[in-house]
Structure 1
C-alpha cells in the first residue's frame, strides 16, 4: 500500500512526528494518488522551504506518489503551530476529467 511505503521512506528524515494521510477521496484522479505529509524533524533546521521539499522528494525517490502536500517543521516550529493547515477541496482541472461542450 502506498501510504505505508511513504511512511517507511520518510523515516530516513528521523521524524519526531510523522503523519501521512491519503487524501485521494478529495480528488478526481482515483485511489492512492493524493497524499498529505506532516513531517517534524531536526533535519529541517536551517533549511529553506525549497530545501526541505527537496529533502522530502529525495527520501521518496523510489515511491513518489502522484501528488503530495508537504508540511515540514522543525520541532520548535511544530511546538508553535501544533497542526498543519487543512487541505483544500479539489477544484478539478485534471486531464482525466471528461470535458463538456
Structure 2
C-alpha cells in the first residue's frame, strides 16, 4: 500500500510542480477528536499552475485533487501554494 505522503505527491503531480514538500503533522494533533478520523498534513507546492491565481483559487486547485481523501484519510491539510517566482 502506498503511503499517504506519496499519494499526495502523486495527486499533486498533475499540477507539474517544481517542488512538493509533504509533512505529516499528525503526531502534533494526537488526542483531539478530529485526529481520530484522519491525518494532518502540511503541503508546500511550487508550480507555475498557480500563476495569476489568488490564494483561495490556488487552494481550491489543490483541494480538488484530494477531496475524496477528506475527511476519512486526511482530517486537516495546510497548504502553501506558490509560483516559482514567489520563492
TM-score band by shorter chain is 0.7 to 0.9
Match of 2:15 among 13, 16, 27: 13
Unmatched 5+ residue regions in structure 1?
A: 79-101
Larger Rg: 1
Please give the TM-score of this superposition, normalised by the length of structure 2: 0.81
Unmatched 5+ residue regions in structure 2?
A: none
Structure 1 segments, 4+ long, off by >2 Å, are: 61-64
Residue 71 of structure 1 is matched in structure 2 by 80
The separation in 1 between residues aligned to 2:9 and 2:79, in whole angstroms, is 13
- Matched position secondary structure for 1:71: strand
Q: 1 or 2, which has the higher strand percentage?
A: 2
Provide the aligned C-alpha RMSD in A: 1.6
